[in-house]
Amino acid sequence: MKKIITVLLSFLFISLQAAKAEVGVGVTGAIHFFDASGTETTRSSGEKNTGSHSEEVAVPELFIEAVTDNGGAFGISYIPTRELGSKSRTDTSDGTGSESGTYKAEAELDNVIQVYADIPVIDAYGALIYGKVGVQHATITTLESLNSGSTYPDEDVMGLTIGIGAKGDLNFGNNLYYKAEVTYTDFEDYEADSNSNPANKVVAELEDTAVKFSIGYKF
């Protein structure tokens, strides 16, 4: 899947290079709705601790893109950090050997880089409707505090993004334009063995739905 996406985006980039294009730079304000779930497994006993969490986060984003005369674009965006929130629970020993204590899972996405293409679909009501496809690369930084004593390493993950949006020129400034879009990103699973206790393993899934509004300048 990664190879197919890479080939597709490379083809789109070559197409944009062959067309008449301007350079656009800008800033994006976005609200991200994260859905995460994970399971920690103790291999020695087979015990599994599972949890899920949803988080709403507002973050800024920077982008630079090549914009063609038909409204298509190929670009790169960057977000320094997106917090994923935390989830806690407290267990009480039931006499069967399970440990009592507090388990807190916390993580954030760092250095999020996205390569994307805006694909023109149709002009409607003075705006260009477009589809979006992209690939994200990010580092999941773990900040957990687990009663089991386990700590887990930071891991790089890839994500596939699809979306739909509208864009158009702004009347109050030369070369200014706007973009409004909704995107969905499905990240690959985070899988890691504990740094402090290799007998423990965690698997986590992460999805992101975002609503974005951008202001750009073409030159």
Task: Kindly give, in sequence order, each residue whose CB lies less than 8 Å from that of residue 94, ignoring residues fewer than 6 positions away.
Answer: none
Which of 67, 176, 56, 55 lies closest to 119, judged by CA? 67
Which segments in the chain show pLDDT lower than 70? 1-20, 43-46, 83-105, 144-150, 195-199
Which of 40, 44, 38 lies closest to 201, judged by CA? 40
Spatial distance between the Cα atoms of 87 and 1, rounded to a whole number of angstroms: 32
Spatial distance between the Cα atoms of 138 and 174, rounded to a whole number of angstroms: 35
Domain ranges in the chain are 2-86+102-218
Spatial distance between the Cα atoms of 16 and 167, rounded to a whole number of angstroms: 18
Work out the number of other CB atoms within 10 angstroms of the CB of residue 48.
11
Please give the class, per CATH, of domain 2-86+102-218. mainly beta
Q: What is the DSSP string of 102-136?
A: EEEEEEEEEEEEEEEEEEEEEEETTEEEEEEEEEE
pLDDT for residue 141 = 86
Q: Is the pTM of this model over 0.85?
A: no
pLDDT for residue 63 = 95
Q: What is the DSSP string of 184-218?
A: EEEEPPEEEE-SS-TTEEEEEEEEEEEEEEEEEEE
pLDDT for residue 144 = 67
pLDDT for residue 43 = 63
Spatial distance between the Cα atoms of 137 and 155, rounded to a whole number of angstroms: 11
pLDDT for residue 216 = 95
Which of 89, 118, 94 lies closest to 106, judged by CA? 89
Dihedral sign (CA 145, 147, 151, 156): negative
